[in-house]
Amino acid sequence: MPAFWLNGKIVAAEYAKLSVFDHGLLYGDGVFEGIRFYNANAFRLAEHLTRLYDSAAAICLNIPYSIDNLVQAIQATISDYSEQQGYLRLVVTRGEGPLGLDPMLCGQANVFIIADSLAVVEKTVLQNGARLIIASTRRLPSDGLDPRIKSLNYLNHILARIEATNAKADEAILLNRHGNVAEGTADNLFIVKNNTVATPAVSDGALAGVTRALIMQLADTMGLVCTEKTLAPYDLYTADECFLTGTAAELIPVRMIDQRLVASCPGRIYQQLHAAFIQQVQQETKRLN
């Protein structure tokens, strides 16, 4: 069963509720983090909380708890959950306020944490590779909403997800307004070409993902060339390998993009990085016990 923490305490499911006047619900006004936990310990928690507070600062949202308070809350939520491994959703909403956009009329922010299981794709997809489409829905431009802000506004990603579902694909890739690759609906994207690993830059609309950063770090440690660069659909179609990364997704190999088979899936470099990722997760989370 899921576990819930709401505004300072663990609560039962029937009490994990917010007002219909919360601006997070009315206007998508808030920020969030998705965090994995393994061996009953949150993975890369410092990086997630840093991004949460940066996102909140960027939208003038005051989080009414210190980082230490949230660390304790997260551990309490994990302890109340029935499994040693799972997924956390940490959300900060603007709070209750009158109808209208002005956030200054809202009261204190609401903060809640959910611990539950989450499988982004089926096990067969992890084994055989995901099928992607390039969505017609475009990523919001960075001069409209900075992609470094992990906000509750996910409508354009949801529209792209609908396109993937309608096409019987596992995931959709969003392009930016220039027609270059930004990211998936809930994950970052990497390609491999001639033994070089590449991923779109944040300036092209990619979220500065925590798992993305770790994969780049692991690639460097392994002696692989890993770069941020502008990618066009052509680069996806002609890649030797392609894979997705994310806190929820972890690592997912890609088998097909717009009905074009990727040359190798799961590819050699993907398999090396996946093994290194699993090892890193175990090292960091077991060490905390």
Distances (CA, A) of 258 to 24, 227, 237, 242: 35, 24, 8, 13
List 123, 150, 168, 193, catalytic entry = 150
Q: How far apart are CA 127 and CA 265, in angstroms?
A: 9
For residue 150, give both structure tokens.
Answer: 């992990």
Task: Reply yes or no on whether 123 is catalytic.
Answer: no
Q: How many CB atoms lie within 10 A of CB 77?
A: 23
Choose among 133, 252, 270, 124: nearest CA to 193.
270
3-state secondary structure of 96: strand
Residues 22-52 as b/e (b if ≥16 CB within 10 A, e otherwise) read bbbbbbebbbbbbbbbbebbbbbbebbbebb
Q: How far apart are CA 220 and CA 199, in angstroms?
A: 14
Choose among 179, 228, 220: nearest CA to 202.
228
DSSP state, 151? Answer: B
Q: How far apart are CA 66 and CA 8, in angstroms?
A: 12
Q: How far apart are CA 234 and CA 206, in angstroms?
A: 18
In sequence order, what are the beta bridge partners of 41?
A: 38
| Residues marked as catalytic | 150
